[in-house]
């Protein structure tokens, strides 16, 4: 058996109690929601917290409220299967429901939460390995070591942001509410991430992500495409999130955000800007897809070769735009099996 290391477990009932518990736990404390990311990592000794503050019993953190008209607020511990099947989300924020429904496997979506998915650890072939493997190869700076095994001269870690929902939430213009014992703040989700494989979140460890707030959806269309080897279980090797507001078939606003190409979701700003004022013709789509591949700089630390992942960025952006233009059929090929 691959067992969890021992820890103290605290199970608060309210956000206020949870905030107090993490503050009291100090540097050895960690939050856990569904545990589907943290527990495998703890079994591999990538994290060894002394105290876990479980959010499962905090009822106020669960559920979806609001409407497409006013905007929707999602509690951080809403499970992914609830996000994937929620009728209003399917209808008005389809990219989010799609992304949640493409995470890992059905069982994991019954346990894993949206907040946990936003905060999911970055990944790397040299890091997501059991302790004896990492020890034999030589530890890297993300845990227990001081060099990077992917880019040996590098001073930073290049582990890959591998959340399916984070690029979508960014493209939708979501905001996140962070609560701690010393106060609370609400920030745009793009300000939650940092381009660093180790310190990939710009929040303090004692800050609890309580809510994800989506702006009104009226007039917006959105879609998400995911590249992975198998149709289940696998993390994204590339995610493409596109959100557009169309006025009379002309793009009035656009956001394209790429997942799994850097240590944080990466906006394709130039490409999105080139869409504004345009109709989604095949020529425009091809041009924008070329521009969008620019910011994708995958490294050789996940599945598939990195040149292939870069090339597929162009293909997937074109496909996503084609879908929103009604030029491509939507269907089960949401995920592309290579």
Partner 1 sequence: MNRGPDEPMKARIELTVNGERREALVPVHKTLLEVLREDLDLTGTKHGCELGECGTCTVLVDGEPVLSCLALPAELEGREILTVEGLAQGGRLHPLQRAFAELGAAQCGYCTPGILLVARALLEATPVPTREQVRVALAGNICRCTGYTKILDAVELAALRMAGRTPVATAAAGSAR
Ligand X SMILES: Cc1cc2nc3c(=O)[nH]c(=O)nc-3n(C[C@H](O)[C@H](O)[C@H](O)COP(=O)(O)OP(=O)(O)OC[C@H]3O[C@@H](n4cnc5c(N)ncnc54)[C@H](O)[C@@H]3O)c2cc1C
Instruction: Find the part of the chain contacting partner 1 (CB under 8 A) among 52-60, 155-163, 207-215, 309-317.
Output: 52-60
Among 13, 14, 16, 57, binds partner 1 (CB under 8 A): 57
261-300 footprint of ligand X as x/- string (CB under 6 A): ----------------------------------------
Contacted entry of ligand SF4, ligand X, partner 1, none for residue 116, CB cut-off 5 to 8 Å set by kind: ligand X
Instruction: Find the part of the chain contacting partner 1 (CB under 8 A) among 31-39, 119-127, 153-161, 295-303.
Output: 31-39
Residue placing its CB nearer to ligand SF4 in the complex, 123 or 177: 123
Contacted entry of ligand X, partner 1, ligand SF4, none for residue 5, CB cut-off 5 to 8 Å set by kind: partner 1
Contact 74, 33 (CB under 8 A): no
Identify the CA nearest to 262 among candidates 193, 311, 336. 193
Structure tokens at 146: 């001081």
Cα 34 to Cα 127: distance, rounded to the nearest angstrom: 21
* Ramachandran assignment for 183, one of left (phi > 0), alpha (psi -120 to 50 degrees), beta (any other): left
Sheet strand arrangement including 238-247: 266-267, 250-259, 238-247, 220-228, 335-337
What burial letters (b/e) apply to 112-134, b meaning 16+ CB within 10 Å? bbbbbbbbbbbbbebbbeeeeeb
Q: Which residue is nearest to ligand X (CB)?
A: 116
Q: Coil, strand, or helix at residue 168?
A: helix
Cα 194 to Cα 196: distance, rounded to the nearest angstrom: 6
Contacted entry of ligand SF4, ligand X, partner 1, none for residue 76, CB cut-off 5 to 8 Å set by kind: ligand X
Cα 245 to Cα 255: distance, rounded to the nearest angstrom: 9
Least distance (Å) from ligand X to the CB of residue 113? Answer: 3
Least distance (Å) from ligand SF4 to the CB of residue 148? Answer: 3
116 near ligand X, rule: CB under 6 A:
yes
Give me the residues that bind ligand SF4 (CB under 6 A), please.
Answer: 124, 126-127, 140-142, 148-150, 157-159, 197, 301
Residues that bind partner 1 (CB under 8 A): 1-9, 11, 34-36, 39-40, 43-44, 54, 56-57, 104-108, 110-111, 231-233
């Amino acid at each position: 058996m691959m067992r969890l290391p021992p820890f103290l477990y605290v199970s608060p009932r309210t956000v206020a109690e949870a905030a107090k518990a993490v503050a009291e736990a100090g540097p050895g404390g960690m939050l856990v929601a569904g545990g589907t990311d943290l527990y495998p990592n703890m079994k591999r000794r990538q994290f060894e917290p002394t105290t876990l503050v479980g959010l499962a019993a905090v009822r106020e953190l669960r559920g979806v409220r609001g409407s497409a008209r006013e905007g929707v607020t999602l509690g951080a511990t809403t499970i992914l299967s609830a996000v994937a099947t929620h009728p209003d989300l399917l209808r008005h924020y389809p990219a989010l429901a799609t992304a949640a429904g493409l995470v890992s496997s059905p069982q994991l979506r019954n346990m894993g939460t949206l907040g946990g998915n936003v905060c999911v650890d970055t990944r790397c072939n040299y890091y997501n390995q059991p302790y004896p493997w990492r020890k034999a190869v030589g530890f890297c700076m993300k845990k227990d070591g001081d060099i990077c095994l992917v880019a040996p001269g590098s001073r930073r870690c290049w582990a890959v942001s591998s959340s399916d929902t984070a690029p979508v939430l960014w493209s939708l213009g979501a905001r996140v509410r962070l609560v701690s014992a010393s106060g609370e703040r609400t920030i745009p989700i793009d300000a939650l991430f940092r381009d660093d494989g180790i310190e990939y979140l710009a929040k303090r460890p004692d800050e609890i992500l309580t809510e994800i707030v989506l702006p009104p959806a009226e007039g917006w269309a959105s879609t998400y495409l995911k590249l992975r080897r198998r149709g289940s279980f696998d993390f994204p090797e590339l995610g493409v999130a596109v959100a557009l507001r169309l006025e009379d078939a002309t793009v009035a606003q656009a956001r394209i955000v790429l997942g799994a190409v850097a240590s944080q979701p990466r906006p394709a700003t130039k490409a999105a800007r080139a869409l504004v004022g345009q109709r989604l013709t095949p020529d425009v789509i091809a041009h924008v897809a070329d521009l969008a591949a620019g910011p994708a700089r995958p490294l050789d630390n996940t599945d598939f070769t990195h040149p292939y992942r870069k090339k597929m960025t162009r293909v997937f952006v074109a496909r996503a735009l084609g879908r929103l233009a009604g030029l491509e059929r939507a269907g089960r090929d949401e995920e592309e099996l290579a």
